[in-house]
Structure formats: structure tokens, C-alpha cells
Chain A
Amino acid sequence: MADQVYQVVSARTASDPAEGFSWRGAWHAPLTQAWLLLGPAMLIYAVFALYPMVDTFVLSFQTWNGLTPHRGFAGLDNYAFIFNDDPVFWLALRNTVIWTFLAVSIPPLIGFGLALAVNQQIPGRNAMRAIFYLPVILAPIAVATMWKWMYDPFFGLFNQLLTSAGLQGLIKDWLGDRQVALYSVFGAYVWQHVGFSMVLFLAGLQGVNQTLVEAARIDGANRYQVFQHVTLPAMSTSITIVLVLSLIQSLKAFDIVYGMTLGGPAQSTQMLALWAFTQSMQIHDFGRGSAVAVVLLLITLAIVVPYMLWRMKREEGQG
């Protein structure tokens, strides 16, 4: 009996579409399945990313203290203020530019070196890969706390080490000195992020065609030339991914700075993302805070989009 029912249902499912609409057929349609699978992700993305993004853009043309229901229209006043009358904005922009430049060059370079090293047949390389990647999975606020202790001018690790090594002349108030605070915070950032670059580069290195390496060796290439003509071109996708992700991460640097210095001393570690937060959440001027956030978004897009287009064009050009 059950077999008969099954046969009837199967026959209908497999039947000609001319027979009409069937719920079962519609449920199994690829389009329905696609929407069902994408739906939850799209909903979450819309509520937690798309809506805030649009609302931030709208807010940047309004005045709002975050408490009252009323939002006033401000036109371009918020932008005029941050560009003309807000010295901290320019300081934050300068710091963000320096930070971004360092973040897209130093951690990827160290990450590339580490990837090359742990890609060799050396004992304990799996353990080393895990150790170098470990900081990536730590919460930035935990990293900030840890490094704050290590930077402590009296009891911190670095000054203790310098004292033990007889290098008292190099002792500094790492997070309290305006000249070095930004770079001190960046040190912690590097420690946390090299593992991220390393893993992506390692994946790229493992995708390098060994036959091409051998062909190059037979063609007469030395180690550097093999690296230049085989390894680097094969890594171009990995390099693009690392650079773009490092750029985006560094432009929105917030938590580690917040956790270590709160932007101080004297705004010397202030960043655009942190300043957008401070304007909104602490000064309660959501309009200006949003204007800073929009500027940050535009800077990100202005760098990332042309770079991606250039890469795509270059890759297409190669066939």
C-alpha cells in the first residue's frame, strides 16, 4: 500500500509541468532552495549591517544626542564641523593613515616570512603554525590587557627586560609617551595579526605548482628567481586577499586602541573609528560621529575598489 502511494507521488513529481502547480515541485525548485538557504543570512545582514550602514549615512546629515526621539536636519554641518573645526579628526585621520600604512606592510611581511618558514619540512612545524596563529583567536580586549601589563613602565615585561640587559637608557613609558604610544599599540596589533596573514599566505604557498618550481630550476633559476617568477605570481590572489583584509581591518582599528589607551595620551593614538565611537557614545553627538564613520567608509572604498578593479583587470589580461 505504502509503495503504491509512493509511486503515485513520484509519478506526479516527475510529471510534465503542463499538469499544473505542485507544492512539492515548488519546494524542490532550485530557486526556492536558494532563497531558503540565503534567507536567514540575508535577514541578519540586513538588520545588523545594512540598516545600521544606511542609518549612519542618514544620521551624518542630522543632529541627534542618542537619547531624545527627535532628530534634526543638519545638512552638511556635521561634515563642515569635522573638517574645519575638529582638530582631533585630523589627528585621528593622520594616525589612521600611519597605522594603515604600517598594518598593510609589516604584519603581511612578517606573516609571509613565517609562512615561508613553516612551509618547509622542519620538525614541529605544525606546532609552530598553531602557536603563531594562536593570538588571532584571542579577543582583542584580552590582547590589549595583556600588552598593557607588559608595557607597564614599572612592572612591565619590556622595561624589566631592558633593565636586566643593562639598557636602562631605552626604558620608556610605552603607552604614556606621545611619541611612542601609537607604535607601542601597533606592536600589540602586529603580534595579534601576523598569524592571520601567515595562514592565508601558507594556504597560497601550498597551492604553488611544484612542477613549475622544477621547470624553473631546470630553466636555470636560482632560489630568488624561482621565488620571483613562480612563487610570487602564484601567490597573487593570496596577496590581494591579505592586503585588502589587512587594509579593512586596520582602517577600522578600534578595540585594541580602546583597550590599551582610549586614544590617549593627548589623542596621540586617536583613530577615526575610535573617534566616531567617542563622538557618538561619549560626547553624544551621533551626527558628527556618523559623519566621521562615513568618511572612514569612503576612504576604505576609495582604496579597496580601485585596487580590486586593477587586480581583476591584471588577472584578466593574463588570460
Chain B
Amino acid sequence: MASVHIQNARKTFGDSTVLHDVSVDMDDGSFVVLVGPSGCGKSTLLRMIAGLETISGGDISIGGKSVNRLAPKDRDIAMVFQSYALYPQMTVAQNMGFSLELIGAKKPEIATKVEHAAKILGLEPLLSRYPRQLSGGQRQRVAMGRAIVRDPKVFLFDEPLSNLDAKLRVQMRAEIKALQKRLGTTTIYVTHDQIEAMTMADKIVVMRDGKVEQIGAPLDLYDRPANTFVASFIGSPSMNFIEGVVANDGKTFFAGAEKLGIPIPLCPAQAVGKAVLLGVRPEHIVIDREAGVPAEVWVVEPTGAETHLVVSLGGAQVTCVLKERISLQEGQTVPLAFDASLCHFFDPQTTLRLV
């Protein structure tokens, strides 16, 4: 186990810079998720930590020791790849024991460690099979087993669940999380799926265009997103952003082109009397027949557990997730309200959170 410190890490390919001075501190034994849209540099950062990409600038240290110039094998890390990367000509047991074989470990020792890892992951009946004889989930487990056998300081996961179906993904998500808690090994996990990030991480690093947008615990990012990007990326469906102006008394928000007045008892000082983006999560909107403001229903999507509505609120498109089953038709008007304490205010120019 070891902490990982990334200090002003930079990566350039020719003239283009894909990572701009990224700094992240990862505590010993923590589960850190790097999340962001495709091309944000999260996999590149992971590969730099693994030693599969060179570091153009800055420093990466594992366990207090700079690893910038170390080969991947000397960094004491294990990596699980999206495509599993199992050696097709080797059995499950051989795949799992390969790294130990390379360092010249004795056969009984390899067998003991492989059996131990196989027991943890429920792979015992599959040890003599070849990768092609396994399902996607089983291959994923073998890839994890290969990592466990090495007993590394850091586990690196590069979108390991992307190739699995939705049901198996949920199951494996829980298994990886439980496994990490059990082993206590520092884990860095890359995904573009914010649900995975929210459910698994102790700490989330949100990235965009090679830069870190925000670092924090999952609920911190959900409750206090630093900008509109993080606000829209974390949470599903995405947060609604309503353009408008806050009245000079700070108690009313005039939404959209229609300047529909919405009462807001709690307004940050920076937002008073200014044009802002009001951020409201779909799950924080409710039907309130007494205090609600009228919204025209555009789309009704019943999902069983909830009802998703797309409405026009003062001319702005807003998505709502209602917990109750309601009978509504497109074109109807529905009175909507949201808890002002759960609203977010952003500067429309800088997209930063207003406090």
C-alpha cells in the first residue's frame, strides 16, 4: 500500500498538450476515481502513473518515491485493462501466476498465491480454462485476480466494466468496491460513467480537456459543484440550467425569456441583482399545487419507479424526476416548485459557482 502524489503532471504529444499541470494527492488505501468525458486525459494520466506513457513535465510519486524514470515493472503497480488483456495461450492459473513466474518465484509459492486470489474471486473451478472459454464477467475477474496475485502497492483500473452488460456492471461494481475495502490497496480507477464514480470512489477527480475541474468526495461534488461542467457531469439526469436574473432584493429569480418569477429565499450574495444560471437537479423539483409556478408539459416519461417530465419553465427546457406516479398529458400545465436550499447559482460568463 502507498499514497500517490501527482504534482503538475503534464503530457504533450508533439505540439498538442493533452494534460495541463495536473496535481492530485491520493491517500494510502483510498479509492480514487478519475472521471470525465472521452478525450479528457483521464486514461493518459492513468497510463502515466503506470509508466506506459512518459511524463512530459511534473512529477508522479508512489509511496513517496518519484517514479518518473521507472519502468512499469519497477513501480509495484498492477493494472486491469478495459479489454482484460489476458494471455490467450495461457490458462487462467497461468495468467494469474505469470508475473510471479517472471520474477522467478517457486512453483508452490505461485500456486498458493494463485489459489488464494482465485478463492477471493470465486475463480477456483475455472483455473484450468483458457480465456476464450470464459464469459466477459469471468475474464474480468481473472484480470483482477492477476492484479491481486502481485500484491502491488497500487491497483490501476482502466474502464474495466465498459465491456460488460448493464446488470453485470452493477454486480462487478459492488465486487470491486468490496474487494478494495477488503485488501485496503490504494486504487486508481478510470471511468467515463459518473454513476460508477459516485458509487465507488472515496475521492473523485473530474477532468475535462486535460485539466482537473474539481476534486472531492462524491457527495461534495454533487452538493457543491465548482462549475457548470461538474454540475452537469455529476448526477443523472443532468442538472437543469435556467438562464435568468435575480431581483435586487435577492428574493425572486426571473426565469427564461418569459421572465417567470420564481421565489428564492436563499440567494448567494454574489448573485443578487445579476444575470445568473440557476442550477436545479431534476430530482429536487416537486409538484406544489399551492406555491408552484406554472410549467407547460412537453414530454412525459414514466419509468415505473419514477416519472420523468420535460417541461417549459418560463421558456427554458427543464427536466424533472418525480417520485410519484402522475397522470399528465403533453400540453398540460403543472405547478412546479424546488427547494431553494438545493439550488445552485453559476456565473453565466465564467460558469463558476457563485457563493
Q: Which residues of A approach B to under 8 Å, CB–CB?
A: 209, 211-212, 214-221, 225, 229-230, 233, 318-319
What total of A-B pairs shows CB separation below 8 Å? 61
Query: Among residues 71 to 121 in chain B, which have CB atoms less than 8 Å away from a CB atom of chain A?
Result: 71-73, 77-79, 81, 83, 85, 87-89, 98-99, 102-103
Least CB distance, A123 to chain B, in whole angstroms: 16
List, in ascending order, chain A residues with CB within 8 A of B73's CB: 217-221
Least CB distance, B264 to chain A, in whole angstroms: 51
Q: How long is the Cα–Cα vector from A216 to B77 in the complex, in angstroms?
A: 12
Q: Which residue of A lies closest to B103 (CB)?
A: A220
- Known interface pairs A217-B72, A219-B73; A318-B102 also in contact (CB < 8 Å): no
20 CB contacts below 8 A, A to B, read A209-B85, A212-B85, A212-B87, A214-B52, A214-B81, A216-B87, A217-B52, A218-B51, A218-B78, A219-B73, A219-B102, A219-B150, A220-B99, A220-B102, A221-B73, A233-B87, A318-B88, A318-B89, A319-B130, A319-B133
Q: Check A215–B88 contact: CB distance below 8 A.
A: no
Q: Check A215–B81 contact: CB distance below 8 A.
A: yes
List, in ascending order, chain A residues with CB within 8 A of B69's CB: none
List, in ascending order, chain B residues with CB within 8 A of A230's CB: 87
Q: Which residue of B lies closest to A211 (CB)?
A: B85
Do most interface residues of chain A lie in helix, strand or loop, or is the interface mixed? helix
- Known interface pairs A215-B79, A318-B89, A318-B132; A229-B98 also in contact (CB < 8 Å): yes
List, in ascending order, chain A residues with CB within 8 A of B102's CB: 219-221, 225
- Known interface pairs A218-B72, A219-B73; A211-B83 also in contact (CB < 8 Å): yes
Q: Check B79–A319 contact: CB distance below 8 A.
A: no
Q: Check A233–B99 contact: CB distance below 8 A.
A: no
- Known interface pairs A217-B52, A219-B73; A319-B99 also in contact (CB < 8 Å): no
Q: How long is the Cα–Cα vector from A216 to B89 in the complex, in angstroms?
A: 13
Q: Which residues of B approach A to under 8 Å, CB–CB?
A: 50-52, 71-73, 77-79, 81, 83, 85, 87-89, 98-99, 102-103, 129-133, 146, 150
Starting from the known contacts A219-B150, A220-B103, 8 additional A-B residue pairs (CB-CB under 8 Å) come to A209-B83, A214-B50, A214-B79, A215-B87, A216-B87, A219-B102, A230-B87, A319-B131
Q: Check A218–B98 contact: CB distance below 8 A.
A: no
Q: Which residue of B lies closest to A225 (CB)?
A: B102
Q: Check A214–B132 contact: CB distance below 8 A.
A: no
List, in ascending order, chain B residues with CB within 8 A of A209's CB: 83, 85
Q: How long is the Cα–Cα vector from A220 to B78 in the complex, in angstroms?
A: 10
Q: How long is the Cα–Cα vector from A229 to B85 in the complex, in angstroms?
A: 13
Q: Check A233–B88 contact: CB distance below 8 A.
A: yes
Q: Check A218–B79 contact: CB distance below 8 A.
A: yes
Q: How long is the Cα–Cα vector from A214 to B52 in the complex, in angstroms?
A: 7
